[in-house]
Amino acid sequence: MARQTVVLGAGMVGVSIAWHLRQRGHEVTLVDRLQPGRETSFGNAGIIQREAVRPYPFPRDVKTLLSVLPNRRVDIRYRPAGMVNAASPLLRYWMNSAPKTYQKIVPEYASLIQLSLKTHGPMIEAAGAEHLVRRQGWLELYRTPEKLAARITEAEEARRLYGVQFEQLDKAALAQKEPSLSDTIIGAIHWLDPWTVADPGGLVAAYAQAFSNDGGRILQSDIKSVQQMGDRWQVNTAAEALEVDDVVVALGPWAGSWLKELGYHFPTFVKRGYHMHYAPQAPAKLNFWVMDAEVGYLLAPMNAGVRLTTGAELDRLDAPADVNQLGAAEKVARSVFPLGERRDDAPWKGARPCLPDMKPVIGPAPRHPGLWLAFGHGHQGFTLGPATGHLMADMMEGQPTAIDMAPFRADRF
């Protein structure tokens, strides 16, 4: 008999795990309150970031910290209630961002990132989703030569250590690729490896459809409870009760609160974010995904229009939206590229699921056989979903994994 598994959460991570398990013959039910790809995975920048071998550290220098305090930056904002609520994990995040500790984390994190393209590739093919994917990299824009030079130094190290490919563009070379950008941009890094996706939620939905076409089951229903029943598990939903051998928790920003019911207290916190779509002003056209690196927002030419995504907002998961960060980003973005009218009725709001050592949890729960955990991917759930799915399937079947999974074990907290 094939093992029966329920995967909780139909974002990029959960869908990818379900797909990989089904490929290996497991009977899999994917459960979410919404259709696949409609929560966190829907709203991101749509880049499969093979170049992102370094996770985002907490700012440590006094100048940066002081610049954050007025709460007017585009790349990071906060609300006092959210900071208090997440004080302990944020303090640990700051401590893990110390240079010596951070340098130990980077190669562990990079080992996951290096699997991203080779694991997305088969899923894109299986889903018939090539029309959503562009293999032309993306552009990281700079306004000052000193900051561009410092970033080039980091890029050269990433190339030497992790095989990251890039090209430095001066103002003239950048103008060839993006003629509609402002003269305030003096150069860029063209990251050559990454793939970009014109509809991130659509790619997740396509992966989910491939899973369904292969015999997987998708159940759209609210999850009520998860209970251990001897050596089996019962997942109670608003629609029905499911009794299975294994449960995988891939609930993104909601994983931490759900796991408290089973006695696990992970130091989770969220970085919220917003997006809005715009029409370009004719005849301007945006050819590449571009990030205004010194300000902290990204513009992406997606199917729905030019998507502007903000940086991080430190607040509670369920706090009301504060669109001031998006407004500040839009004001700057209009000075860099000729954006036209807004295309969405209201800004989209989502949350990135984070852990203080910047690495996800991937693997078995410490005290419950048959319970598996996959959450905390921070900014890179979209990039790392298929890699997580492949690794999780190997672990669940007792097979060797492509990388050392010890850095991602749940009992490190």
User: How do the pLDDT tens digits run along the chain, 413 residues long?
Assistant: 789 999 999 999 999 999 999 999 999 999 999 999 999 999 999 999 999 999 999 999 899 989 999 999 999 999 999 999 999 999 999 999 999 999 999 999 999 999 999 999 999 999 999 999 999 999 999 999 999 999 999 999 999 999 999 999 999 999 999 999 999 999 999 999 999 999 999 999 999 999 999 999 999 999 999 999 999 999 999 999 999 999 999 999 999 999 999 999 999 999 999 999 999 999 999 999 999 999 999 999 999 999 999 999 999 999 999 999 999 999 999 999 999 999 999 999 999 999 999 999 999 999 999 999 999 999 999 999 999 999 999 999 999 999 999 999 999 99
Residues of the chain with CATH 3.30.9.10: 69-97+131-196+267-352
pTM greater than 0.95 = yes
345 phi and psi angles, rounded to 5 deg: -65, -35
Peptide bond into 283 cis (omega under 30): yes
Amino acid at 106: V
**Chain mean position to CA 253:** 11
Q: What is the CATH number of domain 69-97+131-196+267-352?
A: 3.30.9.10
The CATH number, out of the four listed (3.30.70.600, 3.30.230.70, 3.50.50.60, 3.40.50.720), of the domain defined by the range 1-59+98-130+197-266+355-412: 3.50.50.60
User: Helix 99-113 to helix 87-96 angle, to the nearest 10 degrees?
Assistant: 90
Helix (H/G/I), strand (E/B), else coil: 109: helix
How does DSSP classify residue 53? -
Q: Which residues contact 181 (CB under 8 A, 6 or more apart)?
A: 141, 174, 175, 290, 336, 337
Per-residue burial over 334-355, b if 16 or more Cβ lie within 10 Å, else e, is: eebbbbeeeeeeebbbbbbbbb
Alpha helices (H) along 317-366? 324-336
Domain with CATH 3.50.50.60 in the chain: 1-59+98-130+197-266+355-412
